[in-house]
Amino acid sequence: MLLDWLLQCPMPRTDPPLVPTELSVGAADKLASVGYDIRGPVHEHALRLEAAGHQILKLNIGNPAIFGFDTPPEVLAALIRNLPNAQGYCESKGIVSARASIIEYYASRGLAPLDLEHVFIGNGVSELVGIALQALLNAGDEVLVPAPDFPLWTDTVHLNGAQPVHYLCDESADWQPDFDDLLAKVSPRTRALVVINPNNPTGAVYSKDTLRRFAEIADAHNLLLFADEIYERIVYDDETHIPLASIATDQLVITFGGLSKAYRAAGLRIGWMALSGQLKHAKDYIDGLSMLAAMRLCANVPGQYAIPAALQGYQCIDDLTASEGRLAMQRDFVAKRVNDIEGVSCVTPKGAVYAFLRIDTSIYPIKDDERMVLDFLTQEKVLLAHGSAFHWPAPDHVRLIFLPNIEQLELALSRFERFLRGNPH
Task: Quickly list DSSP for 158-183.
Answer: HHTT-EEEEEEEEGGGTTEE-HHHHH
Query: Which pLDDT score is estimated for 240?
Result: 95
Query: Which pLDDT score is estimated for 246?
Result: 97
d(CA 196, CA 203) in angstroms, rounded, equals: 10
H helices of 226-360, where?
A: 244-247, 283-295, 301-304, 306-312, 317-321, 326-339
- Note the Cα 209 to chain centre separation in Å: 25
In a domain, 412, yes or no: yes
Shared domain check, 194 and 46: no
The H or E element that residue 119 is part of is strand 119-123
d(CA 263, CA 391) in angstroms, rounded, equals: 28
Over the stretch 251-276, which tens digit does the pLDDT of each residue have?
Answer: 999 999 999 999 999 999 999 999 99
Q: Range of 278's domain?
A: 73-312
Domain edge (last residue) among 278, 312, 346: 312
| Whether residue 424 has pLDDT greater than 60 | no
In a domain, 272, yes or no: yes
Domain edge (last residue) among 255, 284, 312: 312
In a domain, 4, yes or no: no
Shared domain check, 113 and 81: yes
**What is the domain-level CATH number for residue 208?**
3.40.640.10
Shared domain check, 381 and 405: yes
Order the strands of the 270-277 sheet from edge to edge: 119-123, 270-277, 252-258, 224-228, 190-196, 142-147, 163-170, 176-177
Shared domain check, 356 and 258: no
Over the stretch 287-335, which tens digit does the pLDDT of each residue have?
Answer: 999 999 999 999 999 999 999 999 999 999 999 999 999 999 999 999 9
Question: C-alpha distances in angstroms, 89 versus 85, 281, 294, 300, 304?
Answer: 10, 31, 11, 9, 12
d(CA 250, CA 293) in angstroms, rounded, equals: 26
- Selection from 329, 310, 209 nearest residue 265 by Cα: 310
Shared domain check, 297 and 264: yes
Shared domain check, 288 and 142: yes
Q: What is the number of structural domains in the chain?
A: 2
In a domain, 188, yes or no: yes
Shared domain check, 298 and 384: no
Q: Are the C-beta atoms of 228 and 125 separated by less than 8 Å?
A: yes
Domain edge (last residue) among 312, 330, 363: 312
Shared domain check, 341 and 283: no
Shared domain check, 374 and 255: no
In a domain, 394, yes or no: yes
In a domain, 5, yes or no: no
- Selection from 340, 354, 329 nearest residue 416 by Cα: 340
pTM of the model: 0.92
**What is the domain-level CATH number for residue 418?**
3.90.1150.10
In a domain, 281, yes or no: yes
Shared domain check, 330 and 303: no
Query: Which pLDDT score is estimated for 15?
Result: 62
- Note the Cα 375 to chain centre separation in Å: 26
Shared domain check, 289 and 202: yes
H helices of 83-206, where?
A: 96-108, 124-136, 151-159, 179-184
